[in-house]
Amino acid sequence: MVIDKLRPLGSLVGYFKVFVFAALVMPMSLMAQSQEKKKPNVIIVITDDQGMGDLGCYGNPYIKTPNLDAFYKESVRFTNFHVSTTCAPTRGAIMTGRHTNRLNVFHTITGRSLLFEDEVILPQVLAQNGYTNGMFGKWHLGDNYPYRPEDRGFHEVVRHGGGGITQGPDYWGNDYFDDTYWHNGETQKYKGYCTDVFFSEAMDFIEENKNDPFFCYIATNAPHGPFNLPKKYLDMYKGVDGLKERFQRFYGMITNIDDNFKLLQKKLDELKIADNTILIFMTDNGTAGGHQVFDAGLREGKGSEYEGGHRVPLFIRWPDGQLTGGRDIDKLAAAYDLLPTFVDVLGLDFNPVKPLDGTSLKPLLYEQADNWPNRTLYIDTQRLQNLVKYRKYAVMDDNWRFVNGTELYNMNTDRSQTKNVIDQHPEVVEKLAEGYERWWQSFVDEGVNERYAYIKVGSPQENPSRISAHDMLTGKFNGMWHQYGATRAVQATGRWKIEFVEDGEYKISLCRFPRESGLEINATFPAQEKIVELDGTMPASVKSDFENAYLYVADVEQSAKVEKGQKEVSFTTKVSAGKYDMEAQLIDKDNRVHPAYYVYIEKL
């Protein structure tokens, strides 16, 4: 109870009388509830493009990760844990408990990273069970309503755009330092290095919510490229024999994460909530090149159907839940197992409206899995506009990996997948191949290739909507999805899936550069040292010959000339509520078609 310091004494006496009376008549059941221990907090730290070999605790002789190495020794570790081979798909599986191919999240761009709005996701389940939820860093499941984290159960959000800082949906000109991010849907500038900012904001959220159960999702964009990092972390690896600058930067970004992980643990200790917090460390796919230095005995890396593409660390510590002590679990597990595990361990009220692919890992966590089955799990790398059967896939059970229909590896004797024994075990091949057929048929039965995720415009939740070529459906993946795509003026054609939520008059503005850049459609500028890529430069813009803009949506087909000095070409038109394909193009003097890399749609 908070007492107003200016309240008169007589009034205070009345307050105390009411308080004493309430205490005397409070039912014993309510007294017991008030003393009941609150549900544990949940924190997931997930890094981007860091593989199993990119940690000291797994034998890497170069990398400095002392805090994560110490956490490894205190945790229950899953040693045979699998995610998707790229980032957005893994995040979709974590959030839903379902395989990512069901979710419209089987790519990282081209409209196929927008998580279907009718999926019930983890923060929504937790919110319905009394949790306050915060998300910090990389979302990568949609940048427009209704796909943003603040639309889907998170109460506090600080995030960059798209799949990485500097990608198309991100705020123009971000370079990892002193960037502008979206805070609960509004842009806000932050001071400091990106990873430091995301951890700092997360720790503020934790402190504000320490007295009630919370879910904190810290999803770093590091060590994803571009490999920008504070000088001190680059200097740590300078001069290391056999370590090229790319990997000096990559490892330096990971060491920075490691230092922030230490600060997070220190904050939990200071707040005296570490024991009642489920703290998880994991990564989103295999290493983005680290296997060239140290592979931890795994073949290949990010994007690969081989083990190095999808087997990643998963460390879990929860002292109050007796999950400590440095114990390995070698049973097959996957990212979509996390949601059903939380439901089971936390006792959450949840009735799935769609069948889950995951299963609760609680019996494994508590060594109560005497009859644990030999599961068969599936991964693939799609990265196309539509799902394609037999594309870059692996079928897994405890003993075998059946890869691309032509390779079989015995994981008990050949973890590095060097000896194909497919001719020696036809019965294993038949079983795993049949499993794949059933698995794929389940996607066909759900009609996944016939469904699309529509960006909703004209809604009070987001008006205007800032839409980028990152989410344009196209078969040409040539960089149009990146800020570089606008700078270099790469060519592509395609369409956006747009739902106008209400009849009305709309202003639709076609741009080459986003509004916050202040740049004209035909602006040219030299390479800028500040932004991206390993050499520290953003490519020059040299194209200045756009002459026409073209729009087609609903029954509207219009074009207009691009005037000198113009930043955007706007069309004002009436549109009826409904779902439509939208084409928005910039056309140069030679009649070559480019996307409008940014489109703004505003209901007037």
H or E element that contains 218: strand 214-219
pLDDT confidence tier of residue 529, bands split at 50, 70 and 90: low
In 220-332, at which residue ranges do the beta strands (DSSP E only) sit? 277-283, 311-317, 327-329
Residue of 331, 318, 342, 412 whose CA lies nearest to 367:
331
Task: Round to whole Å and give the CA distance between 86 and 108.
Answer: 8
For residue range 325-354, list pLDDT tens digits in order. Answer: 999 999 999 999 999 999 999 999 999 999
Burial class (CB in 10 A: 0-12, 13-18, 19+), 486: buried
| Residue 23 pLDDT exceeds 70 | no
Which residues make Cβ contacts (< 8 Å) with residue 414, sequence separation at least 6? 421
Average pLDDT, the chain: 92
Q: How many CB atoms lie within 10 A of CB 564?
A: 9
**DSSP designation for 300:** -
- Residue in 601, 600, 599, 596 with CA at minimum distance from that of residue 586: 596
**The predicted structure's pLDDT at residue 313:** 98
CA distance 422 to 413: 14
Q: What is the CATH number of domain 41-367?
A: 3.40.720.10
* CB-CB contact of 41 with 208 (8 Å): no
CA distance linking residue 428 with residue 90, whole number of Å: 28
Residue that is written with structure tokens 């194209």 in the block: 543
Residue-wise pLDDT tens digits, 33-82: 444 678 999 999 999 999 999 999 999 999 999 999 999 999 999 999 99
- pLDDT per position as a tens digit, 554-574: 999 999 999 999 999 999 999
pLDDT of residue 1: 30
Question: CA 43, 48, 53, 54 torsion: positive or negative?
Answer: negative
Q: Could you tell me the two tokens for 232? A: 């001190």
Give the number of other CB atoms < 10 A from CB of residue 578.
12
> How far apart, in Å, are the Cα atoms of 579 and each of 1, 457, 550, 554?
51, 10, 19, 8
- Tokens 């109870």 map to which residue? 1
Q: How far apart are CA 417 and CA 291, in angstroms?
A: 14
Band of the pLDDT at 426, cuts 50, 70, 90? very high
User: Position 177: which residue type?
Assistant: F
Q: Domain residues of the chain, as ranges?
A: 41-367, 455-603
pLDDT in tens, 442-472: 999 999 888 999 999 999 999 999 999 999 9
In angstroms, the first-to-last Cα distance of the chain is 47
Instruction: Give per-residue pLDDT as tens, 346-379.
Output: 999 999 999 999 999 999 999 999 999 999 999 9
CATH architecture of 455-603: Sandwich (2.60)
540 — pLDDT class (breaks 50, 70, 90): confident
SS3 label, residue 196: helix
Q: Which two tokens stand for residue 132?
A: 């306050």
pLDDT for residue 21 is more than 70: no
Give the DSSP H or E segment for 579.
strand 578-588
DSSP SS3 for 290: helix
